[in-house]
Structure 1
């Protein structure tokens, strides 16, 4: 395969991943993650199965620090990638202000942005979070 063919193959794969991520809905089933005391939904398990385990690992590594700051109950994590430089920034908010951030280098993707939400230790995709019932 030429470099251009590999790039086109990755673009096609990434487009399929982005489309599939939007299709996950709320489901009460959870699987315990190995780190950070987190539980994964079907959508976040899908992310891991498609090569984004490192993203969840980084988020899990931040949990002890955020627990000390009492910022562990609700978090919105967004990975933004600069497609030209292949570098990005992972940022977490508590819904209002930034509570964590980390630079990410050398990521080969055509996905510009991924967001996951932590709600009481459950790691969800935005489409799964929207389906939650709140009192």
Structure 2
């Protein structure tokens, strides 16, 4: 039974065949290993294009007839993306004067693109009413 698996390498044709077969199997295995380890270089994922927005907030101005007080609402403080623009618009109020602190600007429209804190005093053209005051803080962060 031991001799059953022996190969007779004394025959010249058979010996050459066995050597070539072993060489080919070894060579093909090396090439297979090379193919398995070669990977395509990873392509960097390009950053998504930044979406810049312009947000317009209407400034609310009202009159309290009981206290003769002008009420101003700039809404709450907010955080926006760096490339965004915040527009505070009170242009619909022609019968009021606007004064922005700390800049001293009297425009009814304020355009903000950087971190800012503002107070707005709104005074009626009719001086019987008391002025109103409100503030807003805006932070711009990377999004």
Q: TM-score, normalised by structure 2?
A: 0.27
Greater RCO, CA 8 A, separation 6+: 1
TM-score by length of 1: 0.28
Higher strand content, 1 or 2 = 2
Greater helix proportion: 1
